[in-house]
């Protein structure tokens, strides 16, 4: 039996590599003769650099930059070999991972540090920037990135604006005259991990801002600010970013960069899958295991496990999806998919995070034994 193990990380508890190793241990215990291929993966956001380091030609570059609160940090990006291109992972600089719980506030955070990293890559000769945008702590529509690259933002009274979420609603115009040399010629490819639009009930603010620390009033303010910035982009650049699929990713970074820098939006999973030949691997498999920390309705908007399921479905390959918490237990459109929650329903969040590996192993063994009993795979 050939098994492909291709999970995302369980945010806050296990990396994708740790998840994959736990899955392999369970497979080996129940199906000792199984041939396992481990491919801990990413949907283009967190973890993408590790995937590229393991499966693409190039090297990791360390860059002195700042986090989303403008505190100095050193963060990595991936420089492809002989292609004049780089993969920047927004979460490395502007991610939730750098912030304590009480520091989360998308009105105050910005993507400035990511812009500094992009500036560094351009100085290395890069002409194509792949920007993976999952896991952000920000909702500034790329305000910080653009500011770091030399774009200036003004309010109605011609005051220069500091890049952050709360100042989005004050933006009246942009000035690109002071932009750094070479930026105009950059080809931007934004790796989106979701399909959500910029605004509305399924948009950036109403769907994601709460987990970034936003209060109900802050969410409304961010929605208003996003709408205002979109109006400015429409006026200055003649582009409607409100209906852009994926425009709501990472606090609207994809929408902002599309409107100002003509960024192309692509599914992050597809970009990385092309680098690692995922589809060719899947075709040879008898069983596929995937998963993420929390599988819910948001996950169906292009998150990694669903991207994997979309590939296994037409091939009718049995697919097991494991998540620390699941709000969806069954998807009728995918009869070859089984969804399992690894955390016992009686366990609180703190205990679940501490015991993530143990809980996963126990659930995997339970599910695999049932699978072996009902339909023994060879």
Q: What is the pLDDT of residue 193?
A: 67
Number of domains in the chain: 2
The answer on 256 and 201 residing in a single domain is yes
pTM of the shown model: 0.82
Distance CA 289, CA 121 (A): 35
The answer on 138 and 219 residing in a single domain is yes
The answer on 125 and 91 residing in a single domain is yes
Average confidence score pLDDT of the chain? 92
Q: What is the pLDDT of residue 377?
A: 53
The answer on 211 and 347 residing in a single domain is no
Is the pLDDT assigned to residue 57 strictly greater than 90?
no
Q: What is the pLDDT of residue 65?
A: 98
Is the pLDDT assigned to residue 352 strictly greater than 90?
no
Q: pLDDT for 232-267, tens place per residue?
A: 999 999 999 998 999 999 999 999 999 999 999 998
The answer on 190 and 114 residing in a single domain is yes
Q: pLDDT for 19-41, tens place per residue?
A: 999 999 999 999 999 999 999 99
Q: Which domain holds residue 249?
A: 48-269
% pLDDT > 70, the chain:
99
Is the pLDDT assigned to residue 378 strictly greater than 70?
no
Q: pLDDT for 166-215, tens place per residue?
A: 999 999 999 999 897 789 889 999 998 678 999 999 999 999 999 999 99
């Amino acid at each position: 039996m050939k098994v492909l193990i291709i999970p995302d990380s369980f945010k806050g508890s296990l990396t994708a590599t740790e998840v994959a190793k736990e899955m392999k241990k369970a497979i080996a215990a129940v199906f000792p003769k199984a041939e396992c291929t481990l491919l801990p993966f990413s949907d283009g956001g967190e973890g993408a650099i590790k995937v590229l380091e393991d499966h693409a030609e190039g090297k990791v570059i360390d860059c002195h930059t700042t986090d989303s609160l403008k505190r100095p940090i050193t963060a990595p990006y991936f420089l492809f070999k002989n292609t004049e291109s780089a993969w920047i992972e927004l979460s490395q600089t502007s991610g939730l991972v750098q912030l304590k719980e009480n520091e989360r506030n998308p009105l105050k955070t910005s993507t400035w540090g990511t812009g500094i990293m992009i500036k560094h890559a351009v100085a290395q000769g890069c002409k194509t920037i792949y920007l993976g945008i999952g896991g952000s702590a920000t909702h500034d529509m790329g305000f910080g990135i653009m500011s770091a690259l030399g774009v200036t933002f003004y309010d109605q009274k011609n005051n220069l604006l500091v890049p952050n979420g709360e100042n989005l609603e004050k933006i009246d115009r942009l000035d690109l005259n002071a932009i750094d040399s070479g930026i105009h010629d950059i080809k931007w490819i934004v790796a989106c991990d979701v399909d959500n639009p910029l605004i509305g009930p399924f948009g950036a603010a109403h769907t994601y801002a709460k987990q970034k620390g936003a209060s109900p009033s802050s969410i409304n303010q961010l929605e208003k600010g996003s709408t205002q910035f979109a109006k400015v982009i429409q006026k200055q650049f003649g582009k409607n970013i409100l209906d852009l699929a994926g425009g709501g990713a990472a606090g609207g970074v994809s929408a902002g960069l599309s409107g100002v820098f003509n960024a192309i939006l692509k599914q992050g999973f597809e970009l990385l899958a092309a680098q690692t030949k995922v589809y060719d691997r899947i075709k040879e498999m008898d069983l596929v295991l995937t998963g993420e920390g929390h599988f819910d309705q948001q996950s169906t908007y292009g998150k990694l496990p669903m991207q994997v399921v979309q590939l296994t479905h037409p091939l009718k390959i049995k697919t097991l999806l494991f998540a620390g918490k699941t709000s969806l237990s069954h998807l009728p459109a995918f009869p070859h998919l089984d969804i399992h929650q690894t955390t016992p329903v009686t366990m609180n969040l703190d205990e679940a995070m501490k015991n993530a590996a143990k809980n996963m192993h126990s659930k995997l063994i339970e599910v695999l034994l049932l699978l072996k009993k009902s339909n023994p795979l060879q």
